[in-house]
Structure 1
Amino acid sequence: MTLYAVGDIHGQLGQLELALARIEADGGPDARVVFVGDYTDRGPDSRGVLDLLVEGLTAGRNWVAIKGNHDRMFQRFLEMGEVHDDRIASGKGWLHRALGGQRTLASYADPEAASFAHPANGGIETLLSYDVEIDGGDRLERVAEAARAAVPDAHLRFLQERPLMHREGELLFVHAGVRPGVALDAQDEDDLLWIRDPFLMDERDHGPLIVHGHTALDAPEAYPNRVNIDGGAGYGRELVPVAFEGREAFALTAAERERLRPA
Structure 2
Amino acid sequence: MHMLSRPSVLRFDWRPTIRTLPEGQFVAAIGDVHGHDHLLAAMHDAIRRELDELGPRSAAVIHLGDLIDRGPRNREALVRARAGIDGASAITLRGNHEDRLLAYLGGSPAALGPWLDAGGEGMFTQMGLDPWRISPGEFRARFGEDLARWLEATPVMHRIGQLVFVHAGIDPALPLDRQDPHTLMWTRRAWIDSPGPYPEGVAVIHGHIPRRTVDFRDRHRIDLDSGVVNWGILSGLVFHGDRMRLLQVS
For residue 225 of structure 1, report the CA deviation from its aligned partner: 1.2
The yes-or-no answer on 1:243 pairing with 2:235 is no
- 2:43–2:248: 8 Å Cα contact kept in structure 1? no
Q: Does 1:20 align with 2:22?
A: no
Percent identity, please.
Answer: 28
> Structure 1 residues 108 and 74, CA, compared in 2 at 3 Å: closer, same or farther?
same
Look up the match of 2:142.
150
Q: Please, what TM-score do these two structures have when normalized by structure 1?
A: 0.75
Counterpart AA for 2:31 = G
Cα-to-partner distance string for 1:224-263 (whole Å, 9 max, x where unaligned): 2100011112335211211124575421246xxxxxxxxx
Alignment check: 8 A CA contact 1:36 1:66 kept: yes
Query: Secondary structure at the residue paired with 1:162?
Result: coil
> Retained in 2: the 8 A contact 1:11–1:44?
yes
Q: Whole-Å Cα distance in 1 between the matches of residues 194 and 120 of structure 2? A: 31
2:35 maps to 11
Residue 23 of structure 1 contacts residue 31 of structure 1 at CA under 8 Å; is this kept in 2?
no
CA RMSD of aligned residues (A): 2.4
TM-score w.r.t. length of structure 2: 0.78
User: Take 1:247 and 1:197, find their aligned partners in 2: how far apart are those partners?
Assistant: 31
Q: 1:183 and 1:74 mapped to 2: Cα distance?
A: 28
Distance 1:6 1:234 in 2: 15
Aligned equivalent of 2:124: 105
Aligned match of 2:160: 168
Structure 2: which 5+ residue stretches go unaligned? 1-24
Matched with 2:3 is: none
Which one has more relative contact order, counting CA pairs under 8 Å at least 6 apart?
2
Distance in 2 between residues matched to 1:82 and 1:208, nearest whole Å: 39
Residue 68 (structure 1) aligned to one of 95, 102, 121: 95
Judge conservation of contact 1:166–1:172 (CA < 8 Å) in 2. yes
CA distance in 1 between counterparts of 2:154 and 2:63 reads 10
CA distance in 1, matches of 2:166, 2:214: 15
Deviations 1:139-181 (CA, angstroms, capped at 9, x unpaired): 47x3534422310112211210001100001200011000121
Aligned CA distance change for structure 1 residues 198 and 249 (closer, same or farther; 3 Å): farther
1:217 aligns with 2:236: no
- Return 5+ residue gaps in structure 1 as ranges: 86-91, 110-115, 118-126, 128-138, 255-263
The structure carrying a bigger strand percent of its residues is 2
SS at match of 1:2: strand
